[in-house]
Amino acid sequence: MVATELRVIYGDTDKMGIVYYANYLRFFEAGRNEFIRAKGLRYRDFEELHRLALPVVDAQVSYRSPARYDDLLRVEVRLTEVRRASARFGYRVLRGEELLATGHTVHACVDLDGRVQRMPRALLDRLLPGEDVAT
């Protein structure tokens, strides 16, 4: 698991001062990027080195309590499942110890023309250590 902190900016909120629901997917993305970075990779390097991309093909968010402007959030990210040509990440968004949202994203592994490809072993070797992952 990798945790990332971020502060809610005014532009993340709606007229009521509550984080707009779709912005949780942006929080997930920020956490996922830091997860990949913590494993010694940069997403850009993955695209350039392997000529592959990991587009989101499924996303789900469950909201429990609202985040508000200037809240300091912690986004926890886990790699929860790896298949031949996809990976699933799980997320928890917290304010202190209060759980605000949970969710997941599933990413297909595709070449730059959008054709499904097997996950490269070199990528898996970097992402899997320390993770409790279903395969």
What is the set of active-site residues? 14
Q: What distance lies between CA 110 and its chain's CA centroid?
A: 17
User: Looking at beta carbons, which pairs linking 20-26 to residues 24 or more positions away fall under 8 Å?
Assistant: 21/61, 21/63, 24/61, 24/63, 24/93, 24/101, 24/103, 25/59, 25/61, 25/105
